[in-house]
Structure 1
Amino acid sequence: MLGLFIVILASCCTASADVSCGYHSCNLGEAEKLNVHLVPHTHDDVGWLKTVDQYYYGSNSSIVIAGVQYILDSVIPQLLSDPSKRFIYVEIAFFSRWWEEQNDAMKENVKQLVQEGRLEFILGGWCMNDEASTHYNAIIDQMTHGLRYLNDTFGACARPRVAWQIDPFGHSREQASLFAQMGFDGLFFGRLDYEDKENREKIRNMEEIWRGSQSLTSPHADLFTGVDENGYNPPDGFCFDAFCRDQPIMDNPALEDYNVEEKVDKFVAAALKQANHFQTNHIMMTMGSDFEYSNSNVWYKNLDKLIKYVNAADKNMTLFYSTPSCYLYALNHANVMWNIKKDDFFPYADAPHQYWTGYFTSRPGLKGYVRESNKYLQVMCQSHKNLQPLQVYSYDGQLSFTWIRDAMGVAQHHDAVSGTSKQHVANDYAKRLYEGFDACSVSSREECNKVISTALTGNNEQLIFCDYLNITLCDLTQSSNQFVVMVYNPLARGVSKYLRIPVKINFYLIILNKFAQQLVPVSEATLSVRRNRGSANCELVFLAKLPALGHNTFQVTKHKTSKTVSLLKTKVEKVINQDVTITNEFYKVKFDGNTGLMASIENIASGITVPVKQDMLWYNASMGNDENINSHTGAYIFRPNVSTPFQCSNGKPQLSIFKGSNLLVQEVYQKFSDWVWQVIRLYAGKKQIEVEWTVGPIPVQDKWGKEIISRYETNLETNGYFYTDSNGREILERRKDYRPTWHLNQSESVAGNYYPVNSRIYIHDNQVQLTVLNDRSQGGSSLSTGQLELMIHRRLLGEDSKGVGEALNETGQFGDGLISRGKHWLLLDTVTSSAKQHRLLAEEIYMSPLVAFQHHAPSTTHIGWKQRRYNYFFESHVTSPLPPNIHLLTLSTTTDGGYIVRVEHQFEKNEDSTLSKPATVSLKNLLTDFHVSSCEELLLGGNAFKQDVTRLNW
């Protein structure tokens, strides 16, 4: 079924709009003429070459001259002076700043312009998000943040009707589905593959209906979609910004440079050429570009002249100020049959050899941090609800949730999580996320401590969050003799999660209540990453069973002994030229001693054994050539110099193995080189294989940029087909060297077959499926039958001339190169069983439990402690766990005291014989201590009642 359902439990939105705004305000032109909709606009990146603050204020002009505040300062008076003029604005992250600086008189003027439909908000998200590296949960959140801001500030007239994704580098089908469910009537974008565009121009298919879901019935996920002819720029010769080089319209015939007829003829020719690519007698021209209109008088003065002289020239053409929504409305009245598109717009290339597929992996550290920060945001929103009547706490004078929401909204920008900004801007994105989380953690500690102190007296310690648990670094746990582990599960179904806590063992014995536990030595790979930080020499491993939407706590105590006690009854052992096997109840994984590589995977329950060779390899990055100097690799572009990658190992990986005494976890360590490591784990009771990779610092002394991949080779007959997720939600079929809607002339056999992978990629034959799940966005492909690969890290020395102006050469904390660590999870099973497994596991990975610590355990003298001593705080906030096919996507409060609840059916149509069936959820009895007084269904963006919005019919 795979549908999203959103309700609000309280008051919400302005019910209906004034008739003067929206489509009622549109000029639809003249029926017998070519109608040219001139759209004044500015495209304001929320960070790219400069930070978001620098762009807003106009500072750091040595990089680029751009100041967003001056754009809005300049445009508003122009609109007020002439009722024929219009303007659209997009990025609410910028507009909200400007709005707060205005006086009451200006605010009233702006509200009037919005009511008249002359200042129109398009898209309305906090930013214009990327569509390749973003997860649907974060997309919904950032759009909601902006859309609800507009509704709260201006009412229903500010509700955007058109999505405006003019700059992202490829477009996902799930994004279209989300826009449709947010109530948008259409989408316009600027970038698509150059071959695709050429083909569409020939067959006049620049606009169509995009069917955004194979599971939702039409038209629920259908979205009218159009391609802007000029990207998002004006036609050649008609850029009138103060910084443009095109000639203005000089209309005094007494002067030598008079050029009215020349300008009219050139514009008419451009309009007729564009009209030849479209089906109706309406075309739209984007009159603006990056950070333009800071002196809007220059633009509007020349556009006024252009309109005047073209319309007077009797060319059977009429020009007028318009907006994308008015253009869309005109198309809706054109009585035209439109084609239907069912796939997506990946990968994107703007020229031969220039595939924008490198950014799927660029800046893996930032991509991982964005993913982690989203989890923090969801947990804080849930805890705010669950721990009522506690309120949001202030942090340095600002609401803590505003900090993290703003930071997460900015991080979804198409030059943020994409990894395509300058280094100092990427640092700023990460800093904002850290400060946002730090603000939230202050309120979270206070809220959680109040709850704990009411249950267990004598415990008023602050919660401690350890940011470096992934490299076994936590000052509290490695130095304290007694501490508490608090684990929160943000999913509305119970989960079991293995925790790995850094500890230091010398003369102490670790006691974890009475749970099964295991001590695992800190690996050589971790020590190489940690360097001189931390003193933990072991990880305490145990299984935490967590309630649905709730938390559990565990006491850890160190007992001093008279002599050194080692629980490491089985140490890490190096293996030389011997086969190695690890196994649990579900899987047996074999490694070839001669190659040092994984050799096979056996699914014990299904009786399936498949030879699986996994290796770590690297492509050498192209530096261009004399014929095409701009075709080298960079932050955006992936172009290997040769299609056959090089091995990361010098000969073969060094193998080591660890099997604990009670077999909670078994690990195989692979050292490919001094900068590439891997650990393959099997946990007791877990139906997946965990692969932890550590890459860096990537060496570049040989003057080659390197792009590191993890490749899996099997004997499955896949015939060039493979499957990737779309923003973590629906699955799309891919095929090597193939595009469903045009004949592909492949110029890059590797990069031209890469696709974004947000949560999983898989291959299968008629019976068996191999699935690889990841913890952050990466590029992936299947370049030969039975094979799949994921790019996990990249360090480059060249620049791809796409605007960022510097190499993607992250030097990391120590200056010698960024070290990145992440995880893949492997599933090998029958095709019919795999869907359920990868759906639920992807959900658990994305919304993994949040772990925090306290210094001391509660007093054992408190009444009830004796009964709780081994599991002393265990609470769920749902009356009963949700069924596995239903996911509580978001649960958060609103500014007016209500709650937004989003639940989704997360299985696709016919994906699973049982779990794809419809399911019923009672909202009335969903949450504990939760009384529903009223309930209304909203659009997915939470900014309008669904019953009040009627989308255009096509």
Structure 2
Amino acid sequence: MVILRHQFTMKIKTTRNIFVYCIIVCLLVSVVVYISADLKPTFSLKQKSIYKKRKLDKQLNFQEHSKLSEIHSRRFEIKYDKKCSFKIDSTPKSNVQVSNVYEELNFDNSYLNTVWDSGFRVKIDYNKWSNKNKLQVFVVLHSHNDPGWLYTYENYFNSFSGRILDSMVLELPHKAKRKFIWAEMSLFALWWKDLDEYQQYTIKSLIRRNQLEFVTGGWVMNDEATTHWISTVQQMTHGHQWLKMHLNYTPISHWAIDPFGYSATQAMLLKRMGLKNMLIQRVHHVVKKNFAKELHLEFLWKQFWDETGETEIFTHLMPFGSYDIAHSCGPNPSVCRKFDFSHIPKVKWPWKWLLKWVRSVPEAITDDNVQELSEELLEQLRKKSMLYKTNVLLVPLGDDFTYITQTGFKGQFQNYERLFRYMNSNPEMNVHIKFGTLTDYFNTVHLDKKDSYFPTLTGDFFTYSDRTNRYWSGYFTSRPFYKRMERELLSYLRAAEIILTLTRLSENMSLKNLKQETELTNLLSDARNILALFQHHDAITGTSREHVVDDYGEKLFEAIQATYNIILQCTTLLLLPSWADISASSSRHFDIDDVRYSFDALTQQYTIDMVISNKKEIVIFNSLPYSRREIVRYMINTPYVQVLRNGEAIHCQILPVYEQELIISTSMYIVSFIANIPALGLQTYTINAVAKNELTWKTAYSLINILNAQSNEEEHSVFKTTAVPLNSSDKFKIGNDRIIVYFSKRGILNGISIDDYRMPIHLEFARYSSKSSGPYTFLPRQSAEPIEINAPAVKIVKGPLLSLITVQLPYVEHTVIVYNTTGGDSVGLEMQNIIDIRKTENFELIMRINTDIKNKGQFFTDLNGYQLIRRKWYDKLPTQGNYYPMSTMVHLEDKTTRLTVVTDTPLGCTSPKEGQIEIMLDRRVMQDDYLGMGEGILDNHLTRQTFRVVLERKLPICKVTGDNYPGGFPSVSAHAASQTLLFPLIRILKNDNDNLEITNSYSPVKVEFGIDFTLASLRPNVIIDGNYGTGIVLHRQYLDDCFTDEALLKRFPQSSGAVRLHELLPYSKGHVMLRKSSLSFLSAHEVIDFEDNIELCPMELQAYILFK
């Protein structure tokens, strides 16, 4: 909770001053007592202080302020049964704040040669160890397996991963002290299904004897920059549920050695899943060197708002440049290479001597060399241990796809066992070294030191750099076509899970009646497999070879089709009248109006043929837990229609379809209308074809203006089209009753007006050119060059429900839309870009939005759609080092104004100048960046991206966070725009001439959620303690109310901090049990009354399991 602190400046010169000061102190103490008694919450106090003490803004009258004060006070009168660990009115209480580290470091790279060639220069303190305080070393064998990169997922399994696991299961049982860890469950599950009963028993025995540990347990080792937090939860849960079902296993420690940067959101999710420890590797080399110097390589990572430490998770940062064996035993790679016994060269003298002279080469441990090599290894171990605060040392032993043969395992185990025997038997070495698992290491650290011994840390680790000016910020945008496709699959998969769960819970849809149960469950599992797989750090990132990307694309395409089938069959079941024969649901009666004819093509809409049938029934599904009023559009082949809801005609608008740049089609049109869809609901509408003379005023036709070109209007066109001479008007505008958008004569945005306040906002497109950028890295050689725009034809379409402009620019078909609704689509303007850079070379396309906002070099980006973090443009870093991931939004603000850009596609962004947002849209690079992929990006596709631009004025003297608070929060409008963009209404078409009778609507919801609550998942078939239930994931987003007026509060009401699931889901009283659980449903906690309030603190994330 937040208290807005007022500063009092006093000089105590007389007794009267002292008396006044004492009175004020007493009053403040009274307020504290008042709060602690919970008579009124601090939120309410904050709001009253805002509205009572500020001077009224000139643009707002006193009555408006009074109403706002009333509304805000009502909203924030919340009482929690528990204390929330949520404090944002001051700087987080952490020992290390990453943004402060960036402020302090010079990034001069002066030490690079000592780090990357020879390692850190570390001085050993031999007094650190003794016979009673030995250095405890855990050597942890691992093999990093990418489920797709240079080869496809299946090829990697067949040629590498399957063979590695075969070798492992043959080698580990020989000795109980030999251990191994495995991370990628997608590959392990593929291997497991072909094991015989004895082999499966062997694996279970290895787990029971603590010889085999599953680290993280996710389906993949996911990327942390471009992923959405719900997708991450999906992939983690998919892996954890597999482990629970097949091995009854619960992971404890997280292993993330290869993602290219790390998000605080990932740490939060892991903590909520019950994991205790984390290991990370790819952190900016300068930051890592600083952490090593300050002994901060192990820390307690927590969230900005966490006051009490409930989100803390113990984190180990590997100190050197790579996770391979050469960079694991100590700071000198040339020494550490000698201790990779998995590949001992089979060469003889003199070639062996020559090879050793050129490069360090491992040789088998014998009685003749064991002393020398033990001492050499121990020196490296001691140097590495000097970088940590404890006497416990982790030494990972592995690399990409290591141990493909049993010989590799034997070489490591046998030679290290000889080293262990020698070192452990010589007391003067003061070391105890053995094989271990990752959790063995962490457990020993926790025994050695309490958590309070380690520093706390807040912040994230973007953007990653492994050497001078080589920043891994290109992958934030690489292959945006597939990044967008992943978001589409997420939306459809989430909707499929929700509608299937609602069908299963519905009174007249018991499992014995649902004949398609197995089929639908299998389809859902298949779709989850693919969504989870694509979270891999070389999949959604766009950093795999072209044929592998094609394979991912095919899989995404098939997964989306699977979700379609689930949604359509459940739609049929939920809309069947109670008296209908349920067997009718086995036939296909509907289609999703979002068709993709191949995996690499843009989605299209069906053209509804009103000639075949004068009547077309359509259904719209809303997967969000609150009702929505938004524009939907359908393609039709006649302009003479009316739209009916429950038998009554509603307003609709007919828009043109252009066959060529300026030729309006006479066989295709767009009908748009405002869909009013209940929470978690289905609503039926009807489009009727009518004679022209039967049309009513509720069917409106768009007015069309053509700028910079002559109109090609046909005589029989239903649209009034006007060609506007170039000299007649330099500017034009479109808008609704709240927002007006201004454009230049070239059709480019140059201003936005909201509530009588106008801000110049200039849009431009530009390009970076470089022969050094690659799939991972962005390495511009010079500033971006603006793309020249001459005088393109501008199409302006206006109507009562929506207005738009479209202009064809070089490389981009650019459209701006303003909707006239009360939904999340109308809080700002919408931009749609169809991008085509297929004919370019070394071309990185950007979009810039220039404003008058005085942001002082600071801007905010989101972390995985879960939270916002403050960024800053640093002149000491190159452009590529100032780029950050933008998973869902970015915003600028000053004392009076905020501009937010919401995206449906994860991309990279920055703010290079005051008042400017720069977003990279697509990139085509002809060369590799020498990071392993071996090729550039030459498979660009026609790509569609949608943005929503929200301009907001700040309420006077309103303050949510402290001055130096390193995070931020979206406004109500920005959150509404993002949620409705990411999870759009699903358009469903009933088949022509289908006689199935359906009801008008369906919704189980009795009381809607507030917009601050997210229903992240309704997951059927969660298994716990041998029982199957429905997994529920809820999140409460804290929203910045300094941009919230009375009208917005009415349009997007927020919760009181509590919800009741029995008011959201269909259920029978007395037949359900609700239990709180870990986020991935591995452990169930206390039982909760299903009819009780579920209270969530701001930014809290909680899972539940519903048993019926």
* Same topology, TM > 0.5: yes
For residues 179 and 682 of structure 1, what CA distance do their matches in structure 2 show?
A: 40
Q: 1:687 aligned to 2:827? A: yes
Task: Give how far 1:664 is off.
Answer: 1.1
Pick from 734, 743, 766: which aligns with 1:617? 766
SS in 2 for 1:160: coil
Task: Give how far 1:572 is off.
Answer: 4.5
Task: Give how far 1:496 is off.
Answer: 1.7
For residues 937 and 465 of structure 1, what CA distance do their matches in structure 2 show?
A: 35
Letter paired with 2:420: I
Partner of 1:351: 467
For residues 852 and 305 of structure 1, what CA distance do their matches in structure 2 show?
A: 67
Q: 1:223 aligned to 2:333? A: no
Judged with a 3 Å threshold, the aligned counterparts in structure 2 of structure 1 residues 924 and 454 are, in CA distance, closer, same or farther, namely closer
For residues 787 and 659 of structure 2, what CA distance do their matches in structure 1 show?
A: 17
Q: Deviations over 1:493-515 (max 9, x none)?
A: 0012211212234xx62332222
Partner of 2:21: none
**Between structures 1 and 2, the one with greater helix share:** 2
Percent identity, aligned pairs only? 24
Partner of 2:1017: 890
Question: How does 1:529-928 map onto structure 2 within 5 Å?
Answer: 537-559=668-690, 568=701, 570-575=703-708, 576=726, 578-593=730-745, 596-604=747-755, 607-620=756-769, 622-623=770-771, 632-643=772-783, 645-651=784-790, 653-660=792-799, 663-673=800-810, 675-685=811-821, 686-700=826-840, 704-737=841-874, 745-746=876-877, 748=878, 750-811=879-940, 818-831=941-954, 835-856=971-992, 873-895=1000-1022, 896-907=1027-1038, 919-928=1057-1066
Pick from 407, 413, 428: which aligns with 1:300? 413
For residues 678 and 285 of structure 1, what CA distance do their matches in structure 2 show?
A: 53
For residues 492 and 536 of structure 1, what CA distance do their matches in structure 2 show?
A: 38
- After TM superposition, the score normalised by the length of structure 2 is 0.73
SS in 1 for 2:891: strand
Judged with a 3 Å threshold, the aligned counterparts in structure 2 of structure 1 residues 101 and 797 are, in CA distance, closer, same or farther, namely same
For residues 711 and 263 of structure 1, what CA distance do their matches in structure 2 show?
A: 58
For residues 224 and 128 of structure 1, what CA distance do their matches in structure 2 show?
A: 19
Letter paired with 2:261: G
For residues 456 and 361 of structure 1, what CA distance do their matches in structure 2 show?
A: 52
C-alpha contact 2:284 2:463 (8 A) present in aligned 1 = yes
Q: 1:96 aligned to 2:189? A: yes
For residues 489 and 622 of structure 2, what CA distance do their matches in structure 1 show?
A: 15
C-alpha contact 2:520 2:566 (8 A) present in aligned 1 = no
Task: Give how far 1:724 is off.
Answer: 0.7
Q: Deviations over 1:585-611 (max 9, x none)?
A: 110111122x5421111112xx32211
C-alpha contact 2:641 2:689 (8 A) present in aligned 1 = yes
Letter paired with 1:520: L
For residues 555 and 131 of structure 2, what CA distance do their matches in structure 1 show?
A: 50
For residues 291 and 947 of structure 2, what CA distance do their matches in structure 1 show?
A: 39
SS in 2 for 1:329: helix
For residues 361 and 642 of structure 2, what CA distance do their matches in structure 1 show?
A: 78
For residues 1043 and 759 of structure 2, what CA distance do their matches in structure 1 show?
A: 23
Partner of 1:109: 202
For residues 456 and 660 of structure 2, what CA distance do their matches in structure 1 show?
A: 51
Letter paired with 2:268: S
Task: Give how far 1:942 is off.
Answer: 1.0
Pick from 360, 371, 376: which aligns with 1:266? 376
Pick from 511, 514, 524: which aligns with 2:642? 511
Pick from 202, 207, 215: which aligns with 1:122? 215
Judged with a 3 Å threshold, the aligned counterparts in structure 2 of structure 1 residues 136 and 887 are, in CA distance, closer, same or farther, namely same
For residues 250 and 512 of structure 1, what CA distance do their matches in structure 2 show?
A: 81
For residues 233 and 1067 of structure 2, what CA distance do their matches in structure 1 show?
A: 27
Q: Deviations over 1:333-392 (max 9, x none)?
A: 233622221110001111112110111111111001100101111111112111123558
For residues 517 and 788 of structure 2, what CA distance do their matches in structure 1 show?
A: 51
For residues 527 and 705 of structure 1, what CA distance do their matches in structure 2 show?
A: 32
Question: How does 1:42-57 map onto structure 2 within 5 Å?
Answer: 42-57=143-158
Partner of 1:310: 423
Q: Deviations over 1:766-788 (max 9, x none)?
A: 01000000001110111111111
Larger mean CA deviation between 771-780 and 538-547 belongs to 538-547
Judged with a 3 Å threshold, the aligned counterparts in structure 2 of structure 1 residues 646 and 539 are, in CA distance, closer, same or farther, namely farther
Larger mean CA deviation between 608-617 and 554-563 belongs to 554-563
Task: Give how far 1:570 is off.
Answer: 1.9
C-alpha contact 1:249 1:306 (8 A) present in aligned 2 = no
Q: 1:32 aligned to 2:133? A: yes
Larger mean CA deviation between 175-184 and 266-275 belongs to 266-275
For residues 56 and 29 of structure 1, what CA distance do their matches in structure 2 show?
A: 46
Judged with a 3 Å threshold, the aligned counterparts in structure 2 of structure 1 residues 940 and 711 are, in CA distance, closer, same or farther, namely same
Partner of 1:869: none
Letter paired with 2:980: E
Q: 1:411 aligned to 2:560? A: no
SS in 1 for 2:764: strand
Partner of 1:327: 441
Structure 1 unaligned spans of 5+ = 6-27, 59-66, 624-631, 739-744, 812-817, 866-871, 949-954
For residues 835 and 265 of structure 2, what CA distance do their matches in structure 1 show?
A: 31
Higher RCO, 1 or 2 (CA under 8 Å, sep at least 6)? 1
Letter paired with 1:695: I
C-alpha contact 2:594 2:603 (8 A) present in aligned 1 = no
Judged with a 3 Å threshold, the aligned counterparts in structure 2 of structure 1 residues 107 and 134 are, in CA distance, closer, same or farther, namely same
Q: 1:488 aligned to 2:621? A: yes
For residues 395 and 33 of structure 1, what CA distance do their matches in structure 2 show?
A: 57
C-alpha contact 1:597 1:653 (8 A) present in aligned 2 = no
For residues 612 and 866 of structure 2, what CA distance do their matches in structure 1 show?
A: 42
C-alpha contact 2:702 2:798 (8 A) present in aligned 1 = no
Letter paired with 2:976: L
C-alpha contact 2:607 2:634 (8 A) present in aligned 1 = no
Task: Give how far 1:465 is off.
Answer: 2.3
Letter paired with 2:862: D
For residues 562 and 471 of structure 1, what CA distance do their matches in structure 2 show?
A: 35
For residues 148 and 602 of structure 1, what CA distance do their matches in structure 2 show?
A: 50
Q: 1:208 aligned to 2:319? A: no
Task: Give how far 1:483 is off.
Answer: 2.9
SS in 2 for 1:464: strand
Aligned residue pair count = 862
Q: 1:80 aligned to 2:80? A: no
Partner of 2:46: none
Q: 1:163 aligned to 2:236? A: no
Task: Give how far 1:151 is off.
Answer: 1.7
SS in 1 for 2:1032: strand
For residues 108 and 602 of structure 1, what CA distance do their matches in structure 2 show?
A: 69
C-alpha contact 2:137 2:433 (8 A) present in aligned 1 = yes
Larger mean CA deviation between 490-499 and 389-398 belongs to 389-398
C-alpha contact 1:190 1:227 (8 A) present in aligned 2 = yes
Task: Give how far 1:429 is off.
Answer: 1.4
SS in 2 for 1:421: coil
Letter paired with 1:570: L
Judged with a 3 Å threshold, the aligned counterparts in structure 2 of structure 1 residues 92 and 535 are, in CA distance, closer, same or farther, namely farther
Letter paired with 2:762: K
Task: Give how far 1:322 is off.
Answer: 1.1
Task: Give how far 1:476 is off.
Answer: 5.1
Letter paired with 2:844: E
Q: 1:943 aligned to 2:1082? A: yes
